[in-house]
């Protein structure tokens, strides 16, 4: 057995542990876990008991390091590798020093009670995370299992999106003697509940904000500085969001490019750079409302504001092309394989993109969009300002 054993324990406590898990707890010199979990272990388990501090994550490496040379057992809820502490311990110590003994996860128990197939359900972990992360998951007919947020919070988010008819099932203390299941809708009154709760959602509504690029323009709060829907979809197709990668959205305006990059996959990251404080505030509002509250916002004027940022995988320049050194700074920040997309609407900025296209290659495209609108009693096309777009992929390593 490894020097640290992580034991999953459910609401059924000691009686629900396997013989192997019980032996790991009984042989431990030190037991770590929440006060609730430690209280589930009988008194004849004689190891020293160390309750987790709050906040836990900053203290975790030091706590684990202090147990080196002792047989340590960590108690975790259910399956420690599913939205649990097991992954953090493995990252800190490495798999050769850790053994994980999972119990049935609360997700498995919830699906069993509900009669839902696990592969048809999306699990949303909100423990220590903003509840606005729910927004992109709220679509018609979707089934969600929400961890770490109470029914009142979930119901409020659903109602704000027009999904107040959605079915809610609150599952408390799953697998334990005090298990309780309560059913209602998002419109029901939901008082505070048990801390060991999963909220199951069956989404009922019609409003759709898909993960694919090109959200409606009216999904954003803006002052006119917004990459319009059709151009936004084309720009994001060129930027090619990849899970885990980082985008710089330079001259962010309403933040639409950064927001839709992050909506493409939960692990996509972005930094929105905006010099105007009021616009930066709108970016923050839009990011929360559209389900990506983790968007990083830098208030400052590029290219100077780019100096301290982590290296990007893709860069979008939606404003400030005529600032001296702007394109140079964005291009030089990219590693090989990095993508740069820049949009221009003025002759001066078009000339800059034409010069860079001549120098570095890539694609230079003119995008023209017209929308039908009334002219007296008839309908005619109303053209928007054309957009010139330069899109290029960096192929060589930047000089150091």
Instruction: Provide the pLDDT for residue 193.
Output: 82
- Token output for 98: 């850790």
Instruction: Provide the pLDDT for residue 1.
Output: 54
Percent of the chain having pLDDT more than 90?
86
Cβ–Cβ < 8 Å for 350, 321: no
Instruction: Provide the pLDDT for residue 196.
Output: 84
Cβ–Cβ < 8 Å for 172, 178: yes
Instruction: Provide the pLDDT for residue 102.
Output: 94
Burial (0-12, 13-18, 19+ Cβ within 10 Å), 253:
buried
| Average predicted confidence (pLDDT) for the chain | 94
Burial (0-12, 13-18, 19+ Cβ within 10 Å), 375:
exposed
Contacts of residue 371, defined as CB under 8 A and 6 or more positions apart, other chains included, come to 381, 382, 384
pLDDT band at 400 (very low <50, low <70, confident <90, very high): very low
**Among the ranges given (101-105, 190-194, 228-232, 275-279), the one the predictor scored with the smallest mean pLDDT:** 190-194
Cβ–Cβ < 8 Å for 3, 72: yes
Residue 94, pLDDT > 50, answer yes
Cβ–Cβ < 8 Å for 273, 267: no
pLDDT single digits (tens) 321-352: 999 999 999 999 999 999 999 999 999 999 99
Q: How many residues are present in the chain?
A: 400
DSSP string of 333-395?
A: HPPTT-EEEEEE-SHHHHHHHHHHHHHH--EEEEE--EEEEEETTEEEEEEPPPEEEEEEE--
Residue 11, pLDDT > 80, answer yes
Residue 296, pLDDT > 80, answer yes
| Residues 236-252, mean pLDDT to the nearest whole number | 97
Please report which helix (H) or strand (E) contains residue 75, including its range: strand 72-77
| Residues 345-362, mean pLDDT to the nearest whole number | 96
Model pTM score: 0.86
Instruction: Provide the pLDDT for residue 84.
Output: 84
Structural domain spans, the chain: 4-104, 107-202, 217-393
Instruction: Provide the pLDDT for residue 154.
Output: 96
Separation between Cα atoms, residue 113 and residue 44, nearest integer Å: 34
**CATH number of the 107-202 domain:** 3.30.950.10
Residue 112, pLDDT > 70, answer yes
pLDDT single digits (tens) 141-200: 999 999 999 999 999 999 999 999 999 999 999 998 899 999 999 999 898 888 889 999
Instruction: Provide the pLDDT for residue 397.
Output: 59
| Residues 120-125, mean pLDDT to the nearest whole number | 94
Separation between Cα atoms, residue 113 and residue 107, nearest integer Å: 10
Instruction: Provide the pLDDT for residue 195.
Output: 83
Separation between Cα atoms, residue 384 and residue 39, nearest integer Å: 66
Q: Give the Cβ contact number of residue 324 at 10 Å.
A: 8
Instruction: Provide the pLDDT for residue 232.
Output: 97
pLDDT band at 2 (very low <50, low <70, confident <90, very high): low
pLDDT band at 311 (very low <50, low <70, confident <90, very high): very high
Return the residue matching tokens 């750079």: 273
CATH class of 4-104: alpha beta
Cβ–Cβ < 8 Å for 338, 392: no
Separation between Cα atoms, residue 134 and residue 124, nearest integer Å: 7
Cβ–Cβ < 8 Å for 177, 12: yes
CATH topology of domain 217-393: Rossmann fold (3.40.50)
């Amino acid at each position: 057995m490894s020097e640290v054993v992580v034991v999953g324990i459910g609401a059924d406590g000691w009686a629900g542990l396997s013989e192997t898990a019980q032996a790991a707890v009984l042989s431990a010199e030190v037991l770590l876990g929440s006060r609730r979990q430690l209280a589930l272990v009988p008194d004849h388990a004689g190891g020293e008991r160390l309750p987790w501090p709050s906040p836990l994550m900053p203290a975790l490496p030091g706590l684990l390091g202090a147990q080196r040379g002792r047989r340590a057992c960590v108690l975790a809820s259910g399956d420690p590798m599913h939205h649990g502490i097991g992954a953090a311990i493995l990252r800190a110590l490495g798999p050769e020093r850790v053994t994980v003994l999972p119990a049935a996860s609360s997700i498995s128990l919830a699906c069993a009670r509900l009669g839902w197939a696990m592969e048809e359900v999306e699990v949303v972990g909100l423990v220590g995370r903003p509840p606005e992360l729910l927004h992109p998951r709220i679509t018609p007919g979707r089934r969600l299992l929400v961890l770490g947020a109470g029914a009142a919070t979930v119901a409020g988010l659903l109602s704000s999106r027009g999904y107040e008819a959605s079915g809610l099932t609150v599952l408390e203390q799953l697998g334990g003697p005090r298990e309780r299941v309560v059913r209602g809708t998002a419109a029901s009154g939901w008082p505070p509940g048990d801390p060991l709760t999963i909220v199951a959602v069956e989404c009922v509504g019609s409003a759709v904000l898909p993960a694919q690029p090109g959200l409606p323009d009216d999904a954003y709060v803006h002052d006119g500085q917004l990459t319009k829907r059709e151009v936004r979809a084309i720009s994001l197709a060129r930027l090619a969001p990849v899970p885990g990668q980082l985008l710089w959205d330079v001259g962010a305006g309403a933040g639409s490019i950064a927001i839709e990059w992050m909506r493409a996959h939960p692990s996509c990251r972005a930094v929105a750079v905006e010099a105007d404080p009021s616009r930066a505030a709108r970016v923050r509002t839009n990011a929360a409302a559209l389900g990506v509250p983790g968007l990083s916002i830098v208030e400052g004027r590029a290219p100077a504001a780019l100096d301290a940022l982590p290296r990007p995988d893709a860069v979008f320049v939606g404003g400030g092309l005529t600032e001296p050194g702007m394109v140079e700074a964005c291009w030089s920040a990219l590693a090989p394989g990095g993508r740069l997309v820049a949009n221009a609407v003025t002759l001066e900025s078009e000339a800059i993109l034409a010069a860079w296209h001549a120098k570095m290659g890539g694609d230079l495209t003119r995008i023209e969009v017209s929308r039908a609108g009334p002219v007296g009693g008839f309908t005619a096309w109303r053209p928007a300002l054309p957009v010139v777009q330069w899109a290029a992929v960096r192929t060589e390593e930047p000089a150091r």
